[in-house]
Structure 1
């Protein structure tokens, strides 16, 4: 007898992905599976799957935790963006030197992800390069949209916003890997397997 797909599935993902990408995917899951309830836990820290703090995690790094099943869905391309108002006022950089020497940059505060990415590009980036710093990605995006300076964002999200514009599109920014992760013991639970498959399908258009 086929097992009924019902119950609650708890998903954790970064605040930015939870805010900008997951809502329509979750709406689709709810339409397709009316007996599944979803708990979404936006968190930029790592929820522990071993202790059932989440059933499924969407990670932007390869998981190292034991006893988990992980699938690399692809990579999220990143770009440099500024608000149209800011770029009209300050000009559009044509080179990376223009960006570094003639513009205000928005960076992270304690999180070193942007610094690591810039160093992978061969730049000796330092925290004081960024005139404004914020670790909350949703607030970071609103600072960029408000015209505080140039910042980094996921291309597929930013390109949908008419208030911002990409600059230096050929800049070789390291992409963010996207991993779907669940506890090994939960992978074959029907509701977990179903939500896992639908998350993978829904995230596919955003990754390369």
Structure 2
């Protein structure tokens, strides 16, 4: 390979990988299909490798294409980080900062924090990535991340915020109708909201509650936001962050027997220490999450109560 290849070629390559066709890549990138085809052909000529083969379902990546994917993704992340840094020059806190957090934290906790940050620094643009997948800070997929695991890489700056508590909760009308279980075995007579696919995190967390298994759930979903929505709808009993549950007036179930702690960290790459936009955002997220944890500890929990009905009729596998 004797020529320098444009980033545009790699961008098209990634789009074809994602979309599975030249036409889909062209639509995603806002270019023409012939242009997308020329980009792929240029890469194949430069590498001396076929990157895609045609099939009835579209373009299939070859082994060579799959080996290149990681490098192209790293290039894309670096190019995006470069653009964010270039757009941030000037006085004050300005430019683009990219933040990642889990689905629940990103949707339920961070919006007020980001709103206050933007009121203080109106020229700051925040890109919020909500995903339970850990975004790669070393590859600059994001600038700052809120994580529930301690980072191990030396190149990362991490601040421990505290522990976010989770407990079992139900809506008040569910408890009024079905009663509140008073022991762990009584949970089996209730509509439980839980996961569909087992993950390493769920497996580890499940050691504290062996009965919390897929077969016991009346409602199953791997979306934390969907579980929260089912809980709010009064469909049954499920896990929820204590602060969110108290805010929504949910009733805590077996508070003495079941309590999970999520250690929480705000993390960024050490190279961003000198970035005004990133340090301002980092500090704002840390303060907001600390206040969120403190509020959860200060607020009184909604106590459970037994229904006037006998709990022998509470085997409600289908919810309310």
Deviations 1:126-180 (A, max 9, x none): 3212222211111110111222221001000110113x21121212423011111
Out of 77, 92, 95, which is 1:4 matched to?
A: 92
The answer as to 2:244 corresponding to 1:157 is yes
Q: 1:34 corresponds to which residue?
A: 122
Matched position secondary structure for 1:77: strand
Structure of greater relative contact order (alpha carbons < 8 Å, 6+ residues apart): 1
Structure 1 outlier segments of 4+, above 6 Å? none
What TM-score does the superposition give when structure 2 sets the normalisation length? 0.60
Larger Cα Rg: Structure 1 or Structure 2? 2
The answer as to 2:153 corresponding to 1:77 is no
Matched position secondary structure for 1:4: coil
Gap regions ≥5 residues in structure 1: none
Q: What is the alpha-carbon distance in structure 1 between the residues aligned to residue 154 and residue 191 of structure 2?
A: 42
Q: What is the alpha-carbon distance in structure 2 between the residues aligned to residue 156 and residue 202 of structure 1?
A: 13
The answer as to 2:235 corresponding to 1:128 is no
8 A Cα contact 1:107 1:114, kept in partner: no
8 A Cα contact 1:70 1:180, kept in partner: yes
What TM-score does the superposition give when structure 1 sets the normalisation length? 0.90
The answer as to 2:286 corresponding to 1:174 is no
Gap regions ≥5 residues in structure 2: 1-89, 295-320
Matched position secondary structure for 2:260: coil
Q: Quick check: 143-152 or 103-112, which moved more?
A: 103-112
Matched position secondary structure for 1:52: coil
Out of 220, 231, 236, which is 1:144 matched to?
A: 231
More helix by share: 2
